[in-house]
């Protein structure tokens, strides 16, 4: 793990179109890098590869790539950073595809290059929400989720093809908004189904468990705890953030007030599980300290179903800092894949902010357990 960078002040970068998608650029131990995808209805869209050098507050655009349609989801392959997936849409059209980022030396450092199509994920008949890469190690499978179905794909990149291996349906009356792949058990995927969270078993292609009424209205985002099995966090249009044990879904383990409007995104820090980042349509990015909890510690609690809205706030859970540099709804957040103290956020007006965890919070976390 790399040490923290010297940057303590926010750095800004702007794309010229509206945007919702930002993702960490993985497998780069030397630089903090992110990919940003734009969402212009009339203009040709772009994917920006941006970098924050050490000991600098100036964000640099290292690559600019064209993408024809509006980008609604963007993800980077965890074992090949030159391979990305996008979910896209235009008037009366939607789709998902895999792309290769071209070598910059091919067209010059500052030239705009088109992304190279690797494969299209054909087969969806309703609006596609997201793609999910295999969460652990190199593998030729990935998932795509639309409003009614979940597809498992086998990738054959040499043949520039993606083949449907399996498909499950949530049903026409149950609309999915996205999901997360369990990094501890790759046979499990959690999806946001209206106000509930459904856990699917990819072996049987059936529902294995369900968190009913995880939020009062739409569940917007899901993320699994990177360190503990069966623990996930959700955000919703009721503005709340909740931590759940999927084996005991009757009541959340933790509840945070979230935002003053919809809480659109929530993400665990990949290294320090007690750090949680959230973003909302109130234009704010919040950094939380959430007391770690395991499924084993929760198993001693009363397992009878209870109202999720009566759950206690953890005694050590608190808002560590609210970042207010944005002026529009914040739809994207991402922790750096290189430095666990650095993160980026993206608002709808195309403004990217790269911030860092305050020094006092770092000390609190790194000093835990010390005499």
pLDDT tens digit sequence for 23-35: 999 877 788 999 9
d(CA 93, CA 167): 21
pLDDT tens digit sequence for 335-349: 999 999 999 999 999
317 confidence band (pLDDT: 50, 70, 90): low
Residue 81 pLDDT: 86
Residue 27 pLDDT: 76
Instruction: Quote the mean pLDDT of the chain.
Output: 88
Q: Which of 316, 293, 280 has the alpha carbon at shortest distance from 243?
A: 293
pLDDT tens digit sequence for 197-211: 999 999 999 999 999
Give, as one character, the DSSP assignment of residue 363.
H
pLDDT above 70: percentage of residues in the chain: 89
3-state SS, residue 167: strand
pLDDT tens digit sequence for 100-154: 999 876 555 568 999 999 999 998 989 999 999 999 888 999 999 999 999 999 9
The pairing of strands 60-67 and 112-114 is parallel
Residue 107 pLDDT: 53
Residue 158 pLDDT: 74
d(CA 22, CA 47): 10
Which pair of structure tokens corresponds to residue 47? 């994917």
Say how many residues make up the chain.
Answer: 371
Alpha-carbon dihedral of residues 103, 105, 107, 113, nearest 10 degrees?
A: 30
3-state SS, residue 309: helix
For tokens 């010229």, name the residue.
Answer: 16
d(CA 274, CA 215): 22
Which pair of structure tokens corresponds to residue 314? 């953890």
Q: Indicate if the pLDDT at residue 301 is higher than 90.
A: no
Entry pTM: 0.89
d(CA 341, CA 269): 9
CA 275, chain centre distance (Å): 15
For tokens 């009541």, name the residue.
Answer: 251
Residue 243 pLDDT: 97
pLDDT tens digit sequence for 276-294: 999 999 999 999 999 887 6
Contact 42, 50 (CB under 8 A): no
Residue 109 pLDDT: 54
Give, as one character, the DSSP assignment of residue 311.
P
pLDDT tens digit sequence for 162-219: 999 999 998 877 899 999 999 999 999 999 999 999 999 999 999 999 999 999 999 9
Which pair of structure tokens corresponds to residue 360? 């006092």
For tokens 């209205």, name the residue.
Answer: 217
Residues in Cβ contact with 38 at an 8 Å cutoff, skipping those fewer than 6 apart: 15, 16, 17, 18, 19, 45, 46, 47, 48, 67, 70, 71, 350
Alpha-carbon dihedral of residues 360, 366, 367, 369, nearest 10 degrees?
A: 140
Cα 41 to Cα 46, 71, 125, distances in angstroms: 12, 10, 21
156 confidence band (pLDDT: 50, 70, 90): confident
The radius of gyration computed from the CA coordinates of the chain, to the nearest angstrom, equals 20
303 confidence band (pLDDT: 50, 70, 90): very low
Q: Indicate if the pLDDT at residue 252 is higher than 90.
A: yes
**Lowest-confidence segment of 3-12, 118-127, 222-231, 326-335 by average pLDDT:** 3-12
d(CA 319, CA 111): 42
Q: Which of 244, 235, 333, 318 has the alpha carbon at shortest distance from 274?
A: 318
Q: Which of 266, 289, 290, 287 has the alpha carbon at shortest distance from 342?
A: 287
Residues in Cβ contact with 25 at an 8 Å cutoff, skipping those fewer than 6 apart: 33, 34, 35, 49, 76, 81, 337
Overall average pLDDT of the 304-326 stretch: 64
157 confidence band (pLDDT: 50, 70, 90): confident
Backbone angles phi, psi at 104, to 5 degrees: -65, -30
């Amino acid at each position: 793990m790399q040490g923290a960078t010297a940057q303590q002040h926010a750095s800004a970068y702007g794309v010229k179109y509206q945007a919702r998608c930002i993702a960490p650029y993985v497998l780069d131990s030397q630089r903090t890098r992110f990919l940003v995808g734009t969402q212009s209805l009339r203009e040709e869209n772009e994917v920006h590869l941006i970098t924050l050098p050490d000991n600098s507050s100036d964000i640099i655009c290292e690559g600019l790539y064209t993408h024809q349609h509006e980008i609604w989801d963007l993800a980077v392959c965890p074992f090949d950073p030159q391979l990305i997936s996008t979910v896209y849409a235009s008037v009366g059209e939607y789709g998902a595809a895999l792309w290769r980022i071209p070598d910059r030396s091919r067209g010059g450092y500052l030239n705009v290059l088109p992304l190279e199509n690797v494969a299209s994920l054909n087969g969806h008949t309703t609006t596609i929400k997201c793609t999910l890469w295999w969460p652990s190690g190199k593998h030729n499978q990935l998932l795509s989720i639309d409003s009614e179905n979940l597809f498992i794909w086998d990738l054959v990149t040499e043949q520039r093809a993606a083949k449907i291996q399996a498909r499950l349906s949530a049903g026409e009356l149950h609309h999915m908004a996205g999901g997360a792949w369990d990094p501890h058990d790759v046979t499990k995927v959690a999806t946001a189904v209206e106000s509930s969270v459904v856990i699917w078993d990819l072996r049987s292609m059936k529902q294995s468990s369900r968190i009913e009424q995880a939020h009062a209205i739409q569940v917007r985002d899901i993320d699994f705890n990177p360190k503990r099995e069966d623990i996930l966090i959700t955000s919703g249009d009721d503005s709340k953030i909740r931590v759940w044990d999927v084996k005991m879904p009757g009541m959340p383990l933790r509840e945070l007030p979230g935002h003053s409007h919809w809480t659109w995104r929530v993400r665990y820090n990949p290294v320090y599980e007690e750090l949680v980042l959230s973003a909302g349509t109130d234009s704010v990015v919040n950094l939380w300290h959430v007391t770690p909890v395991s499924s084993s510690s929760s198993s001693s609690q009363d397992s009878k179903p209870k109202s999720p809205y009566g759950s206690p706030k953890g005694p050590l859970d608190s808002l560590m800092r609210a970042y207010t540099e944005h002026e529009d709804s914040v739809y994207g957040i991402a922790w750096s894949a290189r430095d666990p103290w650095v993160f980026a956020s993206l608002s709808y007006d195309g403004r990217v902010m790269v911030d860092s965890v305050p020094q006092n919070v770092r000390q609190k976390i790194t000093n835990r357990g010390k005499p």
